[in-house]
Amino acid sequence: MKHLTLAFALAATTLSACAHAQTAPAVPARATPAAPSAEALAAVRARLPQDEIIYFVLPDRFENGDPSNDRGGLSGGPLQTGFDPTHKGFFHGGDLRGLINRLDYIQGLGATAIWLAPVFKNKPVQGGPGEESAGYHGYWVTDFTTIDPHFGTEDDFRELVNAAHARGMKVYMDIIANHTADVITYTEGAAENFPYRSIADYPDTAYTPVVPAAERDVKVPAWLNDPRWYHNRGNTLFRNESSIMGDFVGLDDLATENPRVIEGFIEIFGSWIDRFGIDGFRIDTARHVNPEFWQAFNPAMLERARARGIPNFHIFGEVAIEEINPGALARFTRVDRYPAVLDFPFQSAIRAVVAGNQSPALFERLFSGDALYEGGEPTALQLPTFLGNHDMGRIGTFIRQANPQASDAEQLARLRLANALMLTLRGVPTIYYGDEQGFVGDGNDQAAREDMFPSRTASYNDNDLVGTDATTAVSNFDTSHPLYRTIAELSAIRRAHPALTRGRQQLRTWSDDPGLFSVSRFDPESGREYILAFNTSNQPIRANMIVERGSSRFTALSGPCPATARVPGSVTVSLEPFGYMICAAEPTE
């Protein structure tokens, strides 16, 4: 058992009660649900993007509902089928059927929308000899019009969307327009070995593209097989023009400035809206596509959705930045016409404060930039916020790396605090699958993509999870895990109180050192004040925070809320290490 310290006795109590509750529920038998009723579908589509709680999942790593599709209908070994559950870079067997079977689990967590990593048909395996890996993650697309057989069929996808809608949940697809799988080679050699050649030095042709005979017709739609629609300038340097026109680690970079490419992708992804009635797009590598493409594409997708009866279609782009710089992110809502973008600065602030023990004053730097987004603070309400992801790694990993001597109870307390911040502050909370089971990976990318079903990958199974004695070698769908329960509780509070989804946010107090961070949020209809207070330090705190002068009595929604104001305009806050509270002011008569 893990050693617990007195300072985290409360967390330890919950931990000891739940550490052995690893009884994975049986996977339900296959049943085909009917399409959602008109009333249920209308209720789903009436919800605003900021009302959602998103659960982000890699289907290959979630649940294996149909082992017959593990090899994607291909024959041969791992280098032909892409399937090797012992290798962290290959398909492991998770699929759409598994997601359907586990909707109860996702809904029980409080999620109202499921974001799927790409499920389009991928090149099964790519990479040089000895460096091969598989397209289990979904970002090496060859056929943009159908489902990868490793994940199931279009009927499975339709069933998933219908089943989610019937439960009042949305489905967001992860899409790519920047690149396809690595198919094009150059007469000068293999594309992945070629440095970027600029327009200044090579204004016409940088490299001479060639499509191998065996892959001449592998891309769908067929126009994608023509090398004319690609830049063919070698690998990006991730700066200057190469950021837009270079091959992303060898992947075939599309000439997204060309009208044929713009028209083609509007039709490709519009078709998914038409055929399946999905609810939104997360867009990969958004910063590596020219703004003019998005200026045409994003409005076209919103219009396509409205024509399909989906008025609140949520589009958010991946603009990966590593600093707390809202201005760099806001540019994409103004110039590129993105309705929303993933809030990477939010993640940076959480990581610095909760894992890195820096001052919560960083949140002031973060939220003061909300006015910079197109539409200002109302747009900031629609930004998906997150603690970690499949590329950068997990929040549990960051906490453990920054605090290697911390007990399991302290790590659990920090993780609860991180989730409390995400689920109560402005933005759309986005939970990375497995975080609710205390997953702590060894790093980023493949090391942060563990299996929820029993894993056969040694580098996953030796991980020490937080809040449990289980490992990834067993099924991890434990609804009594302390983090699952914490997230479910916070999600229920968020959904029940519009102040926490649509309400204006006002920062109140932030300390220069780890300690108190406090915020007020206001009901968008009544103006009722909700006060949020967080202790980001490893010591108990007692301090005062500003509230509205009319807020004199409070109801506790979570944590040790004061019953009354200390004096008009001020309340006294007492919090344990890494503790938090959520309080609602009682309406004045």
What's the pTM? 0.94
Does residue 589 surpass a pLDDT of 70?
no
- 56-95 pLDDT, tens digit each: 999 999 999 999 999 999 999 999 999 999 999 999 999 9
**Which tops the pLDDT comparison, 420 or 128?**
420
Q: Which CATH architecture has domain 502-585?
A: Sandwich (2.60)
Question: What pLDDT does 16 receive?
Answer: 33
Does residue 542 surpass a pLDDT of 70?
yes
Distance in angstroms (rounded) separating the CA atoms of residues 296 and 279: 19
Does residue 12 surpass a pLDDT of 50?
no
Give the active site residues. 284, 318
The domain ranges of the chain are: 181-250, 502-585
Does residue 28 surpass a pLDDT of 70?
no
Residue 221 per-residue DSSP state:
S
Question: What pLDDT does 209 receive?
Answer: 96
Question: What pLDDT does 5 receive?
Answer: 35
pLDDT confidence band for 2 (50 / 70 / 90): very low
Question: What pLDDT does 24 receive?
Answer: 38
- 479-521 pLDDT, tens digit each: 999 999 999 999 999 999 999 999 999 999 999 999 999 999 9
By the 8 A CB rule, do 412 and 11 touch? yes
C-alpha torsion 554→557→562→568, nearest 10: -30
Q: Where are the alpha helices (DSSP H) in 225-376?
A: 242-245, 259-276, 291-307, 326-334, 344-350, 361-367
Q: Which of helix, strand or coil describes residue 510?
A: strand
Question: What pLDDT does 437 receive?
Answer: 98
Question: What pLDDT does 27 receive?
Answer: 43
pLDDT confidence band for 128 (50 / 70 / 90): confident
Question: What pLDDT does 20 receive?
Answer: 34
pLDDT confidence band for 241 (50 / 70 / 90): very high
Distance in angstroms (rounded) separating the CA atoms of residues 398 and 393: 8
Does residue 190 surpass a pLDDT of 90?
no
Distance in angstroms (rounded) separating the CA atoms of residues 63 and 385: 25
Does residue 14 surpass a pLDDT of 60?
no
How much of the chain, in percent, has pLDDT values that exceed 70? Answer: 93
- 424-461 pLDDT, tens digit each: 999 999 999 999 999 999 999 999 999 999 999 999 99
pLDDT confidence band for 587 (50 / 70 / 90): confident
Question: What pLDDT does 289 receive?
Answer: 98
Question: What pLDDT does 23 receive?
Answer: 36
Average pLDDT over every residue of 211-225:
97
Question: What pLDDT does 9 receive?
Answer: 34
By the 8 A CB rule, do 447 and 462 touch? no
pLDDT confidence band for 584 (50 / 70 / 90): very high
Average pLDDT over every residue of 366-388:
98
Distance in angstroms (rounded) separating the CA atoms of residues 580 and 110: 19
Question: What pLDDT does 35 receive?
Answer: 85
Question: What pLDDT does 32 receive?
Answer: 53
Question: What pLDDT does 104 receive?
Answer: 98
Average pLDDT over every residue of 260-281:
98
By the 8 A CB rule, do 295 and 336 touch? yes
- Amino acid identity for residue 433 in this structure: Y
pLDDT confidence band for 192 (50 / 70 / 90): low
- 133-179 pLDDT, tens digit each: 999 999 999 999 999 999 999 999 999 999 999 999 999 999 999 99
State both tokens at 55. Answer: 């659960």
Average pLDDT over the chain, rounded to whole? 94
Question: What pLDDT does 11 receive?
Answer: 37
Average pLDDT over every residue of 332-352:
98
DSSP assignment of 456-494 equals --HHHHT---SS-S--TTS----TTSHHHHHHHHHHHHH
Average pLDDT over every residue of 349-370:
98
CA distances for 327 relative to 337, 366, 559, angstroms: 15, 10, 34
Average pLDDT over every residue of 518-528:
97
By the 8 A CB rule, do 53 and 494 touch? yes
pLDDT confidence band for 232 (50 / 70 / 90): very high
